[in-house]
Amino acid sequence: MSKYDIAIIGGGILGTSISYWLSSLYDVNLCVIEKESNVAMHASSRNTAVVHSPFYLNPKTKKVLAKSALISYDMWESLAKKANVPWVKTGVLEIAINENQHKSLEEYMDWGAENGIPSQDLDLLDAKQVSLMEPNVKCHSAIYSKREVSTDYGAFTNEIKKESNILGTNFIFGKNVKEIKKNQNDSTIIFDDDANVTADFVINCAGGNSLDIAQMFGLATEYSDIHFRGEYWVADPQYSDLVKTTIYSVAEFKGYPFLDPHWIKKADGKTEVGPNAVPVPSPETYEGYIGDIGTSISKFKDVLSGNAKKLLFDSEFLSLISKEWLSSISKTAMINRIQKFIPKIKPEFFSKKGTSGIRSPVITPQGKFLSDVLELENEHSFNIINYNSPGATGAPAYSAFIVQKLQEKGYLDYKQKSIKSIWSFDSVLNQA
Ligand SMILES: Cc1cc2nc3c(=O)[nH]c(=O)nc-3n(C[C@H](O)[C@H](O)[C@H](O)COP(=O)(O)OP(=O)(O)OC[C@H]3O[C@@H](n4cnc5c(N)ncnc54)[C@H](O)[C@@H]3O)c2cc1C
């Protein structure tokens, strides 16, 4: 049995970034426990790969995520240069298709300024200006945001792991946490092969399983989660440049932004559309499960547990399921949604699927989707739950804020060191 000062559960972009900060700031006996054979095998490499500019995040309700995304941008750019990670500036057109959605764009322009995005990086365009820029896009108006980048977050996470490892973090791969035993002064983390490690303090960054891990600590028992597979389709090469900019659209249903697929320019020159939102039973059901719409609806009820069942009593949600959501599972329905702003595209332009990824939004005790990150702690653990998009973008700064929080709460009583290898902790905090 090994004994650690701190154990981080989850080697995604978040857990790996936190391990970097801790090992660069402290002489601490630290491990990252990951059930796969490497870091970033799940959401952190199975995503849209956009470095987001946070103009669409409400500065009041999503202040930390917005700030994290803004500060992290330069950190990613410098790491991309140092480690040769793809960094392709694509920009984004955020499209409104009617006057009502245009009002959201006006609000986003204000939010962008409040979130600190330089004014020269955001333009509000009318339909004519958009069609001059992108003749195959039809809309009422759009925000042209110039900062967005297409990258590879899996490659980034591997770079951070390399640095963290050099600084002293022990990465333990192939160990799936199945149980946590709380002792008087520490916790024993038990794996499904019955091996275990003990740690004075545990940081839970287990992505789609983070709610389950928090519940092992007796926390968040009143919450549930639900898993949606987001599927992508790759445009055949001859259609790839139909539109040269990445296109997002103002969410038609604000509480359910996962219903609106995008046109995504990738760092490798390909173009994809997606993601849709297929309800699946686990955060790793990447293939299969869903068939026709009828079986999808009956299976959807099976994937709901605990509070998530309350969703079935929400009339807006139910009407969405029947009219919009489950029908968006098919490629044709997804392309139909995109045809609203790129009328020329057709389902037959997309013959290959891209890499799917799974989002696991948390459901509140009231049966609603939780919109923000949930941070919960007790004397032996700190748990980060519902860390969703733009979580990859904001990971470098957000993870530094978590470490600052742990410092302030007195959890990090270790001998200090100050090594700046890829990023500077003080520089992140000075920008906050
Ligand atoms: C479809 C999709 C598109 C997205 N697009 C973007 C985007 O374009 N830009 C952006 O900024 N963000 C995007 N995101 C969000 C972003 O990918 C996530 O916020 C981020 O990757 C979350 O990182 P994480 O480390 O918390 O989780 P993960 O990457 O899921 O890492 C959690 C890790 O914990 C491990 N683990 C889980 N349970 C256990 C256990 N019991 N024992 C041991 N290990 C365990 C898992 O194996 C996994 O490696 C997207 C997400 C999805 C799903």
pLDDT tens per residue, the chain (432 residues)? 699 999 999 999 999 999 999 999 999 999 999 999 999 999 999 999 999 999 999 999 999 999 999 999 999 999 999 999 999 999 999 999 999 999 999 999 999 999 999 999 999 999 999 999 999 999 999 999 999 999 999 999 999 999 999 999 999 999 999 999 999 999 999 999 999 999 999 999 999 999 999 999 999 999 998 888 888 999 999 999 999 999 999 988 777 777 788 999 999 999 999 988 888 888 998 887 665 555 666 666 666 777 777 777 677 777 776 666 665 678 888 898 899 999 999 999 999 999 999 999 998 888 888 989 999 999 899 999 999 999 999 999 999 999 999 999 999 999 999 787 899 999 999 999
From ligand 1's centre to the CA of 387, what distance in Å?
A: 8
Q: Is residue 83 part of a domain?
A: yes
Residue bearing the CA closest to ligand 1, atom 37: 206
Report which of 257, 270, 246, 266 is spatially closest to residue 137, judged by C-alpha positions.
Answer: 246
Residue 191 lies in a domain: yes
* Crossing angle for the helix pair 13-25 and 391-408, to the nearest 10 degrees: 40
Residue 125 φ then ψ, to 5°: -110, 150
Evaluate whether residue 80 is within a structural domain. yes
CATH number at residue 216: 3.50.50.60
Identify whether 104 is part of a domain: no
Q: Which of 102, 389, 110 is closest to 262 using CA atoms?
A: 389
User: Residue written as tokens 């270790």?
Assistant: 414
Length of the chain equals 432
Rounded Cα gap, residues 218 and 182, in angstroms: 10
Q: Is 110 among the domain residues?
A: no
List the beta bridge partners of residue 353.
233
Helix ranges (DSSP H) in 371-424: 391-408
Q: Which residues have C-beta atoms less than 6 Å from ligand 1?
A: 9-15, 33-36, 40-44, 47-50, 52, 176-177, 205-209, 230, 275, 357-359, 387-393
Q: Are residues 208 and 284 in contact, defined by beta-carbon separation less than 8 angstroms?
A: yes
Atom of ligand 1 nearest to the CA of 41: 49
- 415 domain residue, yes or no: yes
CA distance 11 to 206: 8
Helix 391-408 crosses helix 63-83 at what angle (to 10 degrees)? 110
Residue bearing tokens 């792991």 = 161
* Centre of ligand 1 from the C-alpha of residue 148, in Å: 20
Question: How far apart (Å, rounded) are the C-alpha atoms in residues 386 and 362?
Answer: 6
Total number of domains constituting the chain:
1
Parent domain of 13:
1-88+150-223+370-432
- Compute, in angstroms, the gap from residue 350 CA to the centroid of ligand 1: 26
**Ligand 1 center to residue 189 CA distance, Å?**
21
Residue 394 contacts residue 14 (beta carbons within 8 Å): no
Which numbered atom of ligand 1 lies nearest the CA of 15? Answer: 25
Q: What's the CA gap between 234 and 400, in Å, rounded?
A: 35
Question: Does residue 329 form part of some domain?
Answer: no
Alpha carbon of 205 to ligand 1 centroid (Å): 9
Residue 341 inside a domain? The answer is no
